[in-house]
């Protein structure tokens, strides 16, 4: 590259620069503290409009008062001083969106933070958007395969659904989310993982895990770390969903995970209290319900006339010692279309994923399940419910009648089958085979501690010997009598070999 070339290039760029005199609205910083600035002037500013500070930092106007404006500062606020001139930009806060963002780690403003270089894009989406209306929507009918038996069979999630993952700390909430992302390989799904107020080390670990699993090829991570300001934590989920909407607008299916919304609510509480908005229950501001409802309402499945595509949302909420009746958990439970409830007790009993099947529901997901899965999971739910009821009795041991004993034995096996290690997703067809064997009582004479071994062997064997069944389930989503007979024979054959 010669010197002349650089000069020529610069010349061209300078020539293409156009500037026109414009009247700009300005204000002056009255006070600045803890990421909040109070600004005088700025008379015609809109709510959630961007403002720019002299050193290039941007802020968002949240409180519009009679003669001042309360602004949250996105970024470094230590260099902003009293009396600084603040300019209104006439733009609602928006984030850059691009196909090139796939595989990258972004901050809450959509800028890459993974050191892989800048992302060139000229398109941006406003972070706040009204959710799609009724006429543009379609009800849930296609499944999101998590690869986790307990979820796919009992609490199925459909594309466009909002399913809450809720539980105490250290119960495997993020693990379920990660497993779900890993299982989306080849399912034609873009994943967005929004990390809110998480440790950077945890994020790094997660990113490495996704890279190892080849999941970063279809995943975008949006992160507002715990060392960053509350303002960034507050906008991160909206940034995530704006990026998700960009892909949905192309007719794609998107899965978005908010990890976690409890921290998001806490960040919003911090901002609200600093802006002197009146505190309500648990010191949260009055609009904390709207904070989450407008975010989650943007998850949807659109019909063909309006471009198709879907956004499935998996928000995560952390409870304090299993208290589901706290403010934020009840809010989010009522907003979402169901919840997956994880319990510490189950986790330490070795039942992992520690899903409490009784408290978990999916209000719309069952219509997304394939017919074969519905058939096997229907009786499974009943088996487990009866088992839980009878479990207390089982302590008395021998005095039980034959049918009760059978139910108990079946229940024990069901619990065993639903256990699953992390990063080991099951294909739907494999799940159907195992659950078929369980619910039809074909596993009743296998010892409980050998169930895991039996299961693994069976899948392997069935894949080779029940090809008709597999083909039927894959293509028509349901088996025929021919396939069923073949499967029963396969299972019996395998069992006789296994029990020897």
Partner 1 sequence: MATISIKNIASAIYESSLGKSGVELDAVTKKAVNLISKKHLLSKSKELLIQLEKIVDKSEEVVRAKISSRIKIDKKTTDEIEDFIKKRYKAKNTIMEFEVDEKLLGGIKIQIGDEIIDMTLKNKIKKLQNYLITN
Q: Which residues bind partner 1 (CB under 8 A)?
A: 10, 13-14, 17, 19, 21-27, 40-43, 66-67
Please enumerate in sequence order all residues whose Cβ is within 8 A of that of 397, keeping only pairs 6 or more positions apart, or say none. none
For partner 1, which is the closer residue by CB, 21 or 134?
21
Residue 366 to residue 371: CA distance in whole angstroms: 10
Q: How far is the CB of 54 from partner 1 (least distance, A)?
A: 10
342, 141 in Cβ contact below 8 A? no
Q: How far is the CB of 129 from partner 1 (least distance, A)?
A: 24
Residue 87 to residue 28: CA distance in whole angstroms: 9
SS3 letters across 72-120: EEECCCCCCCCCCEEEEEEEECEEECCHHHCCCEEECCCCECCCCCCCC
Please enumerate in sequence order all residues whose Cβ is within 8 A of that of 470, keeping only pairs 6 or more positions apart, or say none. 429, 462, 463
For residue 232, report the phi and psi dihedrals to the nearest 5 degrees. Answer: -70, -40
Q: How far is the CB of 65 from partner 1 (least distance, A)?
A: 10
Token output for 238: 């909206």
390, 407 in Cβ contact below 8 A? yes
For partner 1, which is the closer residue by CB, 19 or 445?
19
Catalytic pick among 169, 204, 276, 363: 363
For partner 1, which is the closer residue by CB, 51 or 415?
51
Residue 82 to residue 69: CA distance in whole angstroms: 14
For partner 1, which is the closer residue by CB, 96 or 315?
96
Q: How far is the CB of 361 from partner 1 (least distance, A)?
A: 46
Please enumerate in sequence order all residues whose Cβ is within 8 A of that of 113, keeping only pairs 6 or more positions apart, or say none. 105, 106, 107, 223
Residue 323 to residue 384: CA distance in whole angstroms: 24
416, 452 in Cβ contact below 8 A? yes
**Number of residues written out for the chain:** 500
For partner 1, which is the closer residue by CB, 94 or 319?
94
For partner 1, which is the closer residue by CB, 25 or 252?
25
312 in helix, strand or coil?
Answer: strand
Residue 147 to residue 176: CA distance in whole angstroms: 10
Q: How far is the CB of 288 from partner 1 (least distance, A)?
A: 25
Q: How far is the CB of 359 from partner 1 (least distance, A)?
A: 47
Q: Nearest to residue 164, comparing CAs of 315, 386, 28? A: 315
Q: How far is the CB of 16 from partner 1 (least distance, A)?
A: 8
CA angle 112, 118, 122 (to 5 degrees): 100
* 363 catalytic per annotation: yes
Alpha carbon separation from 215 to 38, 203, 247, 285, 459 (Å, rounded): 43, 15, 17, 38, 25
For partner 1, which is the closer residue by CB, 44 or 402?
44
Token output for 397: 């041991």
For partner 1, which is the closer residue by CB, 40 or 422?
40
Residue 105 to residue 203: CA distance in whole angstroms: 10
Q: How far is the CB of 44 from partner 1 (least distance, A)?
A: 9
Q: How far is the CB of 68 from partner 1 (least distance, A)?
A: 11
Residue 57 to residue 229: CA distance in whole angstroms: 13
For partner 1, which is the closer residue by CB, 42 or 248?
42
Q: What amino acid positions are annotated as catalytic residues? A: 363
């Amino acid at each position: 590259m010669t010197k002349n070339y650089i000069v020529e290039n610069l010349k061209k760029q300078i020539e293409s620069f156009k500037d026109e005199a414009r009247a700009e609205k300005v204000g002056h910083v009255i006070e600045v503290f803890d990421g909040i600035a109070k600004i005088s002037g700025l008379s015609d500013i809109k709510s959630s409009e961007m403002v720019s500070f002299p050193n290039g930092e941007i802020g968002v106007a949240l409180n519009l008062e009679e003669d001042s404006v309360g602004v949250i500062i996105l970024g470094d606020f230590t260099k902003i001083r009293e009396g600084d001139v603040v300019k209104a930009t006439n733009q609602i806060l928006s984030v850059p969106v691009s196909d090139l963002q796939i595989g990258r780690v972004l901050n809450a403003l959509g800028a890459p933070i993974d050191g892989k270089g800048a992302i060139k894009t000229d398109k941006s989406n406003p972070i706040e958007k009204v959710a799609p209306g009724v006429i543009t929507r379609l009800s849930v009918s296609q499944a999101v395969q998590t690869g986790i038996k307990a979820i796919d069979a009992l609490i199925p999630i459909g594309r466009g659904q909002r399913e809450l993952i809720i539980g105490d700390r250290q119960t495997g909430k993020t693990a379920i989310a990660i497993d779900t992302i890993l299982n989306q390989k080849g399912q034609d799904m873009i994943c967005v993982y929004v990390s809110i107020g998480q440790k950077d080390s945890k994020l790094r670990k997660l990113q490495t895990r996704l890279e190892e699993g080849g999941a970063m090829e279809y995943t975008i991570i949006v992160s507002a770390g715990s060392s960053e300001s509350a303002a960034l934590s507050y906008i991160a989920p909206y940034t995530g969903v704006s990026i998700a909407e960009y892909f949905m607008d192309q007719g794609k299916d998107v899965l978005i995970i908010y990890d976690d919304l409890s921290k998001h609510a806490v960040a919003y509480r911090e901002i609200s209290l600093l802006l002197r908005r009146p505190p309500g229950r648990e010191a949260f501001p009055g609009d904390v319900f709207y904070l989450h409802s407008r975010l989650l309402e943007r998850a949807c499945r659109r019909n063909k006339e309006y471009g198709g595509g879907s956004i499935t949302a998996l928000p995560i909420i952390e409870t304090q010692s299993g208290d589901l009746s706290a403010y934020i958990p009840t809010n989010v439970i009522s907003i979402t279309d169901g919840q997956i409830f994880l319990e510490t007790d189950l986790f330490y009993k070795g039942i992992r994923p520690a899903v409490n099947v009784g408290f978990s529901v999916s209000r719309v997901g069952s219509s997304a399940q394939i017919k074969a899965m519905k058939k096997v999971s229907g009786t499974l739910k009943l088996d487990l419910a009866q088992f839980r009821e009878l479990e207390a009795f089982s302590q008395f041991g021998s005095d039980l009648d034959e049918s009760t004993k059978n139910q108990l034995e079946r229940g024990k096996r069901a619990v065993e089958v639903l256990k699953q290690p992390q990063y080991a997703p099951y294909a739907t067809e494999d799940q159907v085979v195992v659950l078929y064997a369980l619910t039809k009582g074909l596993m009743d004479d296998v010892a409980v501690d050998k169930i895991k071994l039996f299961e693994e062997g069976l899948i392997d064997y069935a894949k080779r010997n029940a090809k008709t069944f597999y083909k039927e389930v894959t293509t028509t989503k349901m088996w025929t009598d021919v396939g069923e007979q073949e499967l029963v024979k396969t299972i019996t054959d395998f069992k006789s070999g296994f029990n020897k």
